[in-house]
Amino acid sequence: MKNIGTKLAAVTFVLLASSSAFAGVGGSAGKIQAAIQSGSVDAITAEVERAEGLMCSECISLVTNLTEDSRFDVREVAAWWFAKRPALKDQLAPQFLAELANGDSIKTRNAADFLGRTVTYEALPTFRAAIHRTSLSADAKIAMVRAIAFMGHRDGNPVLVTAMADADATVRAAAVRAWRDILGQLDATPVVGLLGDADARVRAEAATVVGGLGAVAGRAQLEQLVIGDADPIVRRNAAWALGKIGDPASRTVLAQASLDKSGLVKLVAKAALASLH
């Protein structure tokens, strides 16, 4: 995101003049710069966190640049720093919204991480539109899914439903995993359909979410998975899910799964069987 540092410079004086300067707890722009030069994610994270209460124009410029870093952990801590400064965050949000809507895959990824980690709910309509952009990479779509999960708002559900139908299995798996992170999520219907996904990672995630939400509609498919899926992780998750659903009708398949060749599946199936009433 070029020129953000320049644009922020125009508001820094106003912000500093209109509010008391925050004191950093041992943090400084110089220490942030040194951490950046070290290339260490841990060092960068530690120094940005140390500067939680530090306000200086050089700090703003340095942390702004970090919102474009290639590493998620760095982008995340940069967004966290701006979330502590709502006025600055609001100055940046429109630019990130524009890039979420129209940027290339890298800019969209970065924008999604910033808007998600700063919990910018006003971005939800843009997320719902952006997830349909066919030119985006899987990494950009996963960033959008990740942002929706972090915000945890049900208005983000359409983003996840669209992502669940993506051609890339990593995007589908991320969307299923995010579904359970939405506050007040009750309906597992979109996830039930992915119990039959071609990718084992997606099936395993779907089984966990269906079980966690106690979706009785998925019971028959889970019973098929627990004794018939080729992947032991899927069988294990299906056993756990059937235990969470708690229908005595699953007793027969769980008893069969308790003899599974995988020790992990056996253990979970026995626990699930014992939980049935």
Q: What is the CA radius of gyration of the chain?
A: 23
Question: Is residue 249 assigned to a domain?
Answer: yes
Question: Is residue 80 assigned to a domain?
Answer: no
Q: What is the pLDDT of residue 55?
A: 81
- Same domain (yes/no): 58, 90: no
What are the strands, taking DSSP E only, across the chain? Answer: none
Question: Is residue 48 assigned to a domain?
Answer: yes
Domain limit, last residue, from 154, 184, 214? 184
- Same domain (yes/no): 177, 210: no
- Same domain (yes/no): 158, 212: no
- Same domain (yes/no): 117, 161: yes
Check which CATH number belongs to the domain holding 123 and give it. 1.25.10
- Same domain (yes/no): 163, 109: yes
Q: Tens digit of pLDDT per residue, the chain (277 long)?
A: 454 554 455 445 445 444 444 444 567 899 999 999 999 999 999 999 999 888 888 899 999 999 999 999 999 999 999 999 999 999 999 999 999 999 999 999 999 999 999 999 999 999 999 999 999 999 999 999 999 999 999 999 999 999 999 999 999 999 999 999 999 998 999 999 999 999 999 999 999 999 999 999 999 999 999 999 999 999 999 999 999 999 999 999 999 999 999 999 999 999 999 999 7
Domain limit, last residue, from 45, 70, 95? 70
- Same domain (yes/no): 12, 101: no
Domain count for the chain, please give it. 3
- Which residue pairs, CB below 8 angstroms and at least 24 apart, start in 165-171? 166/138, 166/141, 168/138, 168/141, 169/197, 169/198, 169/199, 169/201, 169/202, 170/138, 170/142, 170/201, 171/138, 171/141, 171/142, 171/145
- Same domain (yes/no): 258, 215: yes
| Structural domain for 7, as ranges | 1-70
- Same domain (yes/no): 179, 193: no
Q: What is the pLDDT of residue 56?
A: 84
- Same domain (yes/no): 160, 190: no
Phi, psi of 167 (to 5 degrees): -70, -25
Question: Is residue 78 assigned to a domain?
Answer: no
- For residue 125, how far is the Cα from the chain centroid? 17
Question: Is residue 79 assigned to a domain?
Answer: no
Phi, psi of 184 (to 5 degrees): 75, 15
Check which CATH number belongs to the domain holding 265 and give it. 1.25.10.10
- Same domain (yes/no): 66, 97: no
Domain limit, last residue, from 70, 97, 128? 70
Both structure tokens of 277: 């009433």
Question: Is residue 25 assigned to a domain?
Answer: yes
Question: Is residue 174 assigned to a domain?
Answer: yes
What is the number of other CB atoms lying within 10 angstroms of the CB of residue 209?
25
Question: Is residue 24 assigned to a domain?
Answer: yes
Q: How many CA atoms lie within 13 A of 268 on its CB side?
A: 21
- Same domain (yes/no): 179, 97: yes
Q: What is the pLDDT of residue 25?
A: 58
Q: Which 3 state secondary structure label does DSSP give 136?
A: coil
Angle between helices 4-18 and 86-102 (to 10 degrees): 160
- Same domain (yes/no): 274, 211: yes
Nearest to 54, CA basis, from 17, 24, 26: 24
Residues 6+ apart with CB under 8 A from 116: 79, 123, 143, 144, 146, 147, 148, 149, 150, 151
Q: What is the dihedral of CA 31, 37, 38, 43, to 10 degrees?
A: 40
Q: With residue 134 as reference, give the H or E element that holds it.
A: none
